[in-house]
Amino acid sequence: MAVRPLWLRVLTTRAAAILALDVVLFVVFAVQSGGPFASEANIQSLLLSATEALLLAVGLAMLLGAGIFDLSLGANLVLSSVVGAKLMLAVADRTPDGGYRNLSTVVAIGVVGCLVTGMLFGLVNGLLVAYLKINALIATLGTLGIGTGLAYVISGGADVGGLPTEIQSDFGLLTFGAVPVPAVVAVVITAGVFVCVRYTRFGSRTLAIGSSPSAAERVGIRVPRHLLRLAVLAGLLAGIASFIDLSHFISTSLNGHSNDALNAVTAAVIGGTLLEGGKVSVLGAVWGTGLAVILQGGLVIAGVSSYYQLMAVGVVLILAVGVDRFSHLRRART
């Protein structure tokens, strides 16, 4: 059988199809809005919105590649941001004019707090799933509730504000050319995950576990330890997203992440990552994130209620899973 050219194989992938749909949707909303949707300010806003969603989607895609479904990523982000914000306020040495004598220390401790909390959250998920053998859906549903409750307890039920404005001006809203710096950070991290999945032993072991955990065990892969590492990695990405969230709004956002799990799984599955494991499409997750963000942003510009926006994302997710099942059945028949 003749091998198809590389360019043809790339153009016929699920990721390429989602990218084409992203372009079509963007053009449709740009024309419908009469210009505001395609403005530089709105594009930057879309990129900032996509930054956190992309980090969570990539983390979930890695977990799904090994057959683990995580419902707690949004709760992880919220709890990590609360811990990071509280630590910054605890170590802050304020000047009479409202500034900080130890700004670099405050920011560094905030970053470490976000990352460590995210990783510990992931560690708990990994221990429950990999070593205690609790079903991943049940385990992460439980940690979702625990993490959300802890965030409210630590914050007193209100968003934590009063953080250094420099984290917003020097990072959260800083641009590299016309591209927000947080988006650049997310792209660099995503590229690293792509290389990991595609070219490293860690990535191949992830896919092997997702395809058949028992077979992976037989060839010498330490499945529980690998699953634990994946859970900690996903937690780290949630922790990074939490600091980006803090730097964007200069406060926590307790009620702003209830749909993060839905958006992450939508982006990952639309892009071609299999729910059953064994296949990860990092590029697909990128374009899937873009689809969700463009769809929601376009509906906002069009004045559509937020309830309908949520419905639209849900419909897209169901369609994506339906198309995936249809393709799987067709391949099985042939």
Identify the structural domains of the chain with CATH numbers, from first to last: 35-325 (1.10.3470)
DSSP 103-161: HHHHHHHHHHHHHHHHHHHHHHHHIIIIIS---HHHHHHHHHHHHHHHHHHHHTTS---
Tell me the per-residue pLDDT of 154-165, one tens digit each, with 9 for 90 and over.
Answer: 999 899 988 999
Going by pLDDT thresholds of 50, 70 and 90, the confidence category of residue 12 is low
Contacts for 80 with CB less than 8 Å, ≥ 6 apart = 113, 114, 115, 117, 118, 121, 238, 239, 242, 243
| pLDDT confidence bin for 11, thresholds 50/70/90 | low
Q: Over the chain, what is the mean pLDDT?
A: 88
Across the range 230-248, mean pLDDT stands at: 96
Query: What is the predicted pLDDT for the residue at 20?
Result: 86
Inter-CA distances, 287 with 20, 53, 61, 82, 292, Å: 9, 11, 13, 29, 9
| pLDDT at residue number 231 | 96
Token output for 19 = 């990218």
Report pTM: 0.91
pLDDT at 15 over 70: yes
What count of other Cβ atoms lies within 10 Å of the Cβ of residue 96? 5
Contact 86, 155 (CB under 8 A): yes
193-224, pLDDT tens digit by residue? Answer: 999 999 999 999 999 999 999 999 998 999 99
Out of 7-11, 79-83, 185-189, 326-330, least confident range: 7-11
What is residue 1's predicted lDDT score, i.e. its pLDDT? Answer: 46
Which whole number is the average pLDDT over 246-272?
86
SS3 260: helix
pLDDT at 98: 73
Q: What is the mean pLDDT of residues 216-245?
A: 95
